[in-house]
Structure 1
Amino acid sequence: MTEFAFELELCATLEERRDGIVARQLGGSVADPGGRVLDVVCVEPGPAFDERVAITPASIPDAAIESDVGPGRARYWKDAFDCHPETARRATERAVDIGFFERERHNGRDYVRQVARYPDWFDRLVGIENKPDLGRPGDLESQLRTDVSLGLVDEVILATESYVTRAHLNRIPEEVGVWRVRRRRDDRPAIEVVREPTSLPADDWGVELLEERPGRTDVEVVSPAAKARARRRLAERAYGKGWRTFDLPACRTCRPDESSGATLPYCEWAGRVVDAATVCGPACGGYDPGDEPAVDLEAERERRTPWEGDPAGKRRRQAGLDRFGEP
Structure 2
Amino acid sequence: MALTSDTIPRAVLDAPVPVGTYERVTRVFDGPPERARAVADAGAETGFLDVTRRDGQQVVRQPTRYPEWIGGLVGVENKPDLERPGGLSRQLRHDASLGVLDYAVVATESHVTGAHLNRLPDAVGVWRVDFDRERPIRIVREPERLDAAGPGLEVLDEHAARTDVRPVSGAAKARQRRQIAERAHGKGWRTFGLPGCARASTGDGGVTLPYCEHFDRVVDPARECGTDCPGFADADPPAVALDAERERRTRWERDAGGRHRQAGLDQF
Using the size of structure 1 for normalisation, the TM-score is 0.57
Out of 30, 43, 48, the position equivalent to 1:100 is 48
Question: For the residues of structure 2 that align with 1:110 and 1:295, how far apart are their CA atoms?
Answer: 49
User: Equivalent residue for 2:152?
Assistant: 206
CA deviation string 1:112-159 (max 9, x = no partner)? 653511223334332222223323322111100111111122221112
1:174 maps to: 122
Work out which of the residue numbers 225, 233, 248 in structure 2 matches 1:303: 248
> SS at 1:132's partner residue?
coil
Equivalence map 1:236-255=2 (5 Å): 236-242=182-188
Partner Cα separation in structure 1 for residue 71 and residue 50 of structure 2:
28
- Deviation at residue 193 of structure 1 after TM alignment: 1.7
Residue 272 to residue 206, structure 1, CA distance change in 2 (3 Å): closer
Relative to structure 1, the CA distance from residue 150 to residue 272 in structure 2 (aligned partners, 3 Å threshold; closer, same or farther) is: closer
Post-superposition offset of 1:164:
1.9
CA offset digits 1:25-52 (Å, max 9, x no partner): xxxxxxxxxxxxxxxxxxxxxxxxxxxx
Paired AA for residue 151 in structure 1: G
Residues 1:147 and 2:95 are matched in the alignment: yes
C-alpha change, 1:226 and 1:272, in structure 2 (3 Å) is: closer
1:160 and 1:119, CA in 2 relative to 1: closer, same or farther beyond 3 A?
same
Shift of residue 272, structure 1, vs aligned partner: 6.2
Superimposed CA distance per residue, residues 197-223 of structure 1 (whole angstroms, 9 cap, x where no aligned partner): 122222333211123355554321222
Question: Is the 2:17–2:28 contact (alpha carbons within 8 Å) kept by the matching residues of 1?
Answer: yes
Output one character per residue of 1:244-295: Cα deviation in whole Å (capped at 9) or x when no partner: 567x69x989x9974695467x9xxxx96349xxxxxxxxxxxxxxx99986
SS in 2 for 1:228: helix
- 1:306–1:96 Cα change, 3 Å: same
Other-structure match for 1:12: none
For residues 143 and 206 of structure 1, the distance between their equivalents in structure 2, rounded to whole angstroms, comes to: 15
Contact 2:189 2:242 (C-alpha < 8 Å) held by counterparts = no
Q: What corresponds to 2:178 in structure 1?
A: 232
Secondary structure of the 1:122 match is coil
Correspondent of 2:38 among 76, 89, 95: 89
Tell me, in whole angstroms, the C-alpha distance in 2 between the residues paired with 1:119 and 1:240: 16
- Which secondary structure does the structure 1 equivalent of 2:112 belong to? coil
What is the CA–CA distance in structure 1 between the aligned matches of 2:237 and 2:49, rounded to whole Å? 36
Give the Cα–Cα distance (whole angstroms) in 1 for the partners of residues 158 and 36 of structure 2.
33
The one-letter amino acid paired with 2:253 is E
Specify the code of the residue in structure 2 equivalent to 1:221.
Answer: P
Worse-superposed segment, 146-155 or 292-301: 292-301
8 Å contact from structure 1 (residues 60, 95) kept in 2:
no
Cα deviation, residue 161, structure 1: 2.8
Aligned-residue offset at 1:64:
1.6
Q: Distance in 1 between matches of 2:113 and 2:7?
A: 40
In structure 1, distance between residues paired with 2:109 and 2:6: 33
Cα distance in 1, alignment partners of residues 40 and 128 from structure 2: 42
| 1:156 correspondence with 2:104 | yes
Q: Distance in 2 between matches of 1:257 and 1:110?
A: 57
Distance 1:157 1:76, change over 3 A: same
Gaps of 5+ in 1: 1-52, 276-290
Residue of structure 2 equivalent to 1:127: 75
Where does the alignment leave 5 or more consecutive residues of structure 2 unmatched?
213-218, 224-235
How many pairs align?
Answer: 250
The CA RMSD measured in Å over matched residues stands at 4.8
Task: State how far apart, in whole Å, the 2-side matches of 1:138 and 1:257 are.
Answer: 37
Letter in 2 for 1:304: R
Cα distance, 1:252–1:153 mapped onto 2, change above 3 Å: closer
**In the alignment, is the contact (CA less than 8 A) between 1:96 and 1:103 conserved in 2?**
no
SS in 1 for 2:137: strand
Q: TM-score, normalised on structure 2?
A: 0.67
AA matched with 1:301: R
SS at match of 2:154: strand
| Distance change >3 Å, CA 75–CA 244, structure 1 → 2 | farther
Shift of 1:166: 1.6
Q: Which amino acid aligns with 1:227?
A: K
1:118 has 2:66 as partner = yes
Q: Structure 1 256/68 Cα, relative in aligned 2: closer, same or farther at 3 Å?
A: farther
Larger Rg: 2
